[in-house]
Amino acid sequence: MLLLLLLLTAQCRWWPRREPPPAVLDVHQATLPRMLDPTRAQSIAEMNVTRQLFAGLTRLSADGRDILPDLATEWKASGDRRIYTFYLRQEAVWVDRQGQAVGPITADDVVWTFRRLCDPTTGAASAPLFYIIEGCEDAHKATGIPDLEGIDVRAVDDFTVEFTLVEPATYFPALLTALAARPLPRALIDAAGDAWAKPDALWTSGPYMVREWSAKRALLVQNPLFFAADEVTVAQVRLHALPEEDALARYDRNQLDMVLLSPATTAQFRYDQARQPELRAFAEPCSTYAGFVTVNPPLDFRLVRLALSEAIDRDRLVSEVLGGNALPARHLTPPGTFGAPPADQIGVEWNPEHAQDVLARAGYPGGQGFPPLTLRYPQNVLFEAVARFLARVWEETLGIEVRLDGRPAETYAQTLERTLPLEEAPHIWLETTCNPSPDAHHWLSPAFHCEESPNRARRLCNAFDALLEQAAVEPDPAKRRELYAQAEDALAVSEVAYAPLYVTTQTALVKPWLQPAVARADFWELRDWSMDMFAKVAAQEE
């Protein structure tokens, strides 16, 4: 018996181990972009494809908590936080369609990329994010010939690049994770013009390169010369542009690993118990809120604003009005953004009983004596539905009257100017802010800072603004995250300058063998994704 056991043990020891097949990811896309220029990418589909092809100086971790090295191995800031120096990987190269190196990625490529980004003729929608770079705003807003040489990005040597900022900004390394900031191949663009971005002409620097491309199907393969190739676990990515019905049929046959769903289908599948375990919602870079004109009586009393915010059942709003195509929001910055608190933390919760008590303490028990409020919104179907929901909730919960005031979308912003006479201003207005920025600074400051935003709430400068200014010069990322969390709390709870409502989402069906490491819908980094190919192959063989 002992001899038999020893023989079996020896056989197991020498039995060849089964290696998993190369990981191949099959993803559904509504359409495939015709051009792959990260500077001009606007749709989420364009962003997520080009993000795989170009590396940035820095990159965001999948959970949005950390800024990681990428093309830059390290960086340092001057004592006043106005000059940032980045040191490039000397092994990073541009790779052509055949997988051959065509030259190193140099500081000159980086300098040229940012001058192109700030050049108004490029048409980069994200250029205002980079006004923090000295000379970028002047160049981008120039009515004549822009002074691109005045954009203060310079090559110290072939692999060192220096940025001079208009003011201290410790969020700058996070900002460089944005897609528009990814270095581009100057030599190719100089030679080919706009045609450089066609899939059949592209040079790439990221974890993947284009192998095949058509209107209906694309194949990305692992870049053999990518500087971190050993960290990439998905060998191939097949993108399938299909009608949703066809994509769902293929998904059910285990031929697709992930299908992006339309809002209508998302609403339908929320009630399908069989689909529930495979539904995944990714936050889009769009946040909707109800802003308060904080000096317009009776909203000049914080308790009144708090009652209005606490009375909103955001889960019900998402379910009844949005068909599940959103996440209830307790603060402004969406998940997956550096500095965003967890979605279920920080901010005002739905608490109708407390809202009623707060309103009574403000002098309006049961809404008695409360004057009618004006809720202004841009005229479209969605905003009108949200406005009607809020008016109904506030009437049912607090006993107050809300008058709806829809305005043409083209002139809507003008009706919220803080210079308007108070009698022409609404009490409350609806706003959706969409932002490609990967850092909380660009969500909070342009929307609500007392001096750096339109300040439609007519706020006085207070702790919120001081926290943002402190975060802008805080070098420790962990402390900066904490400052942003405090700022979110100060704005939504301590001051109640607005009532956060929801963050829109992109919902997908995802097979259990795929682990998409992503929090924001526009921040796919497939190099961080993982797959159990044994499970996929087994399902396909059933």
pLDDT at residue 5 tops 80: no
Contact yes or no for 120/138 (Cβ under 8 A): no
Tell me the mean pLDDT in the region 310-315. 98
DSSP alpha helices (H): ranges in 290-349? 302-310, 314-320
- Between strands 67-69 and 72-77, the pairing is unpaired
Tell me which long-range contacts 217-224 makes (C-beta under 8 A, separation of at least 24). Answer: 217/32, 217/241, 218/32, 218/49, 220/49, 220/52, 220/53, 223/95, 223/99, 224/95, 224/99
DSSP notation for 302-314: HHHHHHHHHT--H
pLDDT score at 204: 96
Range in 484-488, 517-521, 536-540 the model is least confident about: 517-521
What average pLDDT does the structure give for the chain? 94
Predicted local confidence at residue 470, as pLDDT: 97
Amino acid identity of residue 55, one-letter, is A
Cα 515 to its chain centre, rounded Å, is 19
At 72-124, the pLDDT tens digits run 999 999 999 999 999 999 999 999 999 999 999 999 999 999 999 999 999 99
Amino acid at the residue 484? Y
Does residue 144 register a pLDDT over 60?
Answer: yes
The predicted structure's pLDDT at residue 62:
86
Fold (CATH) for 23-256+511-541: D-Maltodextrin-Binding Protein; domain 2 (3.40.190)
The average pLDDT across 150-161 equals 97
pLDDT of residue 45: 87
What are the two backbone dihedrals, phi and then psi, of residue 514, each rounded to the nearest 5 degrees? -105, 130
The model's confidence at residue 482, banded by pLDDT at 50, 70 and 90, is very high
Assess contact for 387 and 375: CB atoms under 8 A: yes
- pLDDT tier for residue 309 given thresholds of 50, 70 and 90: very high
CA dist 407 and 385 (Å) reads 14
Convert the pLDDT of each residue in 214-235 to its tens digit. Answer: 999 999 999 999 999 999 999 9
Q: Tell me, what amino acid is at 154?
A: R
By the 10 Å C-beta count (0-12 exposed, 13-18 middle, 19+ buried), 276 is classed as exposed
Angstrom distance (rounded) from CA 86 to CA 107: 9
Alpha-carbon 466 to chain mean position: 25
Give the helix ranges, DSSP H, for 81-131.
107-118
**How far are the Cα atoms of 44, 277, 280, 461 from residue 506, in angstroms, in the given order?**
10, 16, 8, 36
Share of the chain above pLDDT 70, in %: 97
pLDDT band for position 6 (50/70/90)?
Answer: very low
Q: Is the previous residue joined to 446 through a cis bond, with omega within 30 degrees of 0?
A: no
The model's pLDDT over 412-427, given as tens digits with 9 standing for 90+, comes to 999 999 999 999 999 9
Mean pLDDT confidence for 523-540 = 94
Arithmetic mean of pLDDT, 357-367: 97
Cβ proximity of 120 and 171 under 8 Å: no
Q: Strand ranges (DSSP E) for 100-257?
A: 101-104, 153-157, 160-164, 208-213, 217-222, 234-241
Identify the pLDDT of residue 18: 65
CA distance 27 to 239: 5
Contacts for 219 with CB less than 8 Å, ≥ 6 apart: 210, 211, 212, 213, 236, 237, 238, 239
Distance CA 251, CA 268 (A): 17
CATH superfamily of 283-505: Dipeptide-binding Protein; Domain 3 (3.10.105.10)
All structural domains of the chain with their residue ranges: 23-256+511-541, 283-505
The CB-based long-range contact list for 211-215 (8 Å cut-off, 24+ gap) reads: 211/97, 213/32, 214/32, 215/32, 215/241
**How many C-beta atoms lie closer than 10 Å to residue 454's C-beta?**
14
| Average pLDDT of span 341-364 | 95
214-249 CB burial, b ≥16 within 10 A, e <16 = eeeebbbbbbebbbeeeebbbbebbbbbbeeeebbe
CA distance from start to end of the chain: 39
**What's the rounded Cα separation, in Å, for the pair 168 and 170?**
7
Question: Token pair 């971790």 is at which residue?
Answer: 61
* pLDDT number for residue 19: 73
Strand 402-407 vs strand 373-378: parallel, antiparallel, or unpaired? Answer: parallel
Residue 13 binned pLDDT confidence (cut-offs 50, 70, 90)? very low
* 363-415 pLDDT per residue, tens: 999 999 999 999 999 999 999 999 999 999 999 999 999 999 999 999 999 99
**Nearest-10 crossing angle of helices 381-398, 352-361:** 70
Distances (CA, A) of 215 to 203, 212, 381: 20, 11, 32
- Cα–Cα distance, 416 to 91 (Å, whole number): 52
Give the pairing type, strands 498-510 and 101-104: unpaired
Is the confidence at residue 290, as pLDDT, over 90? yes
Integer Cα distance of 93 and 103 in angstroms: 6
* Average pLDDT over every residue of 11-33: 75
